């Protein structure tokens, strides 16, 4: 009875946070210029650096996580946009989230992985604006034509936690906290060193 519903419940529980992030991000205005796009990628770099580390430590399943890590893609795109590797490494990072166990790690990863879905649309928009095909756009391209298959595999893995209410609570809490932290980090008014 519970097995097919975890994803639906998680999506419903995080829907207000997704809407708030989408509205606060104002992504079309930010990617309209190359400095704006670079600032957004610089912030995402800090966020992924902190979160991917925390998720990796608690999920303890590198074969599943490795193809979903996108920190190196952000570094490559920033390099293409003129930010030297030493400057990329020195970019600010938020305080990492405290995750207690694999269920919480999956909740945090749900937010990062789900962002590859809307990211396809954002990537196509940036490609049209700035003429990038792959180089400079690898973060938003993400899984590309494999997006649907990667998301299906992620959802299958989510259901491992469907029969465990305590795990579902931890998972949902980490997802909501990740959305809130991402909104605070991406939408904060401070300027990034990369904004140039």
Tokens of 132: 């990038």
**CA-closest candidate to residue 107, choices 162, 178, 52:** 178
**CA-closest candidate to residue 55, choices 91, 10, 103, 17:** 103
Using CB under 6 A as the binding rule, the residues of this chain from 172 to 191 that contact ligand HEM are 182
Give me the 70-109 binding string for ligand HEM, x by CB under 6 A, dash otherwise: ----------------------------------------
Among 43, 58, 105, 115, binds ligand HEM (CB under 6 A): 115
Among 118, 127, 129, 150, binds ligand HEM (CB under 6 A): 118
Q: How far apart (Å, rounded) are the C-alpha atoms in residues 169 and 104?
A: 9
Using the contact rule CB under 6 A, the part of the chain among 49-57, 68-76, 114-122, 136-144 near ligand HEM is 114-122
Is the distance from CB of 138 to CB of 73 less than 8 angstroms? yes
Among 54, 97, 122, 181, binds ligand HEM (CB under 6 A): 122
Q: What dihedral angle (degrees, nearest 10) is formed by the CA atoms of 178, 18, 147, 175?
A: 30
Which residues of this protein are in contact with ligand HEM, per CB under 6 A?
11, 18, 21-22, 25, 27, 110-111, 114-115, 117-118, 121-122, 182
């Amino acid at each position: 009875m519970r097995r097919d519903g975890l994803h639906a419940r998680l999506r419903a529980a995080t829907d207000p946070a997704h809407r708030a992030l989408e509205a606060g991000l104002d992504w079309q205005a930010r990617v309209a210029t190359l400095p704006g796009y670079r600032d957004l990628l610089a912030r995402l770099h800090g966020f992924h650096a902190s979160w991917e580390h925390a998720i990796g430590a608690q999920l303890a399943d590198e074969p599943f996580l490795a193809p979903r890590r996108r920190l190196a893609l952000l570094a490559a795109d920033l390099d293409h946009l003129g930010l030297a590797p030493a400057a990329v490494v020195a970019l600010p990072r938020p305080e990492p989230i405290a995750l207690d166990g694999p269920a919480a790690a999956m909740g945090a990863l749900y937010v990062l992985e789900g962002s590859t879905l809307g990211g396809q649309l954002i990537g196509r928009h940036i490609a049209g604006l700035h003429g990038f095909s792959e180089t400079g756009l690898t973060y938003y391209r993400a899984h590309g034509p494999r997006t649907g298959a990667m998301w299906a595999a992620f959802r299958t893995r989510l259901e491992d936690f469907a029969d465990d209410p305590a795990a579902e609570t931890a998972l949902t809490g980490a997802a909501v906290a990740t959305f809130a932290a991402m909104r605070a980090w991406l939408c904060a008014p401070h300027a990034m060193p990369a904004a140039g």
